Amino acid sequence: MYSYTEVEANKYVLSIDNHQEMMAALRDFCQEHEIFAGEVRGIGAVSEATLRFLNPATKKYVDRTFSEQMEIANLIGNISIKDNEVYLHVHITLGREDYTAVAGHLLTATINGACELVVEDWPDGYLGRKFDEETGLNLYEI
Ligand code: FE
């Protein structure tokens, strides 16, 4: 599903295999290494991605799937813990063939090409989350 190397203490370079679902692979990696506080960033390419937009007025999520070859121009996110499980909050900017971009909160992405991530583990930190009624979001509990 992926390969990785620890380039310095608590900092990993992670390569996700072709055709894998990136978020599932990243979640597995974090679970395997017990990373419950940290950061992720990366680049790569996908053939499909589902993004999510929260309408703050209605507190309703709108999900949309883009099924086309796109570059991960930028991926950035954080790693925390909710209900004793890894909780990923990841945003992505995807470049299309016509050089326009789509962007948003990332739910799933199927790799088609490479996916090169840097994962930083903050082993002494604790980042919990809790549902917040006012925003409809799972906010940090800090
Ligand atoms: Fe988000």
CATH number for position 38 = 3.30.1330.80
Q: Is the pLDDT of residue 80 over 90?
A: yes
Q: Is the pLDDT of residue 140 over 90?
A: yes
pLDDT value for 59: 85
Q: What total number of domains does the chain contain?
A: 1
**Full residue range of the structural domain in which residue 53 is found:** 2-115
For the segment 67-94, the average pLDDT, to the nearest whole number, is: 97
Classify residue 123: in a domain, yes or no. Answer: no
142 or 19, which is more confident: 19
CA of 24 to the centre of ligand 1 (A): 17
- Judge contact between 40 and 11, C-beta under 8 A: no
- Judge contact between 107 and 128, C-beta under 8 A: no
CA of 75 to the centre of ligand 1 (A): 12
Kind and range of the H or E element at 96? none
Instruction: Give the pLDDT confidence of 106-139 residue by residue, as tens digits.
Output: 999 999 999 999 999 999 999 999 999 888 899 9
For the segment 24-50, the average pLDDT, to the nearest whole number, is: 98
β-bridge mates for residue 54, sequence order? 61
Classify residue 42: in a domain, yes or no. Answer: yes
CA of 7 to the centre of ligand 1 (A): 28
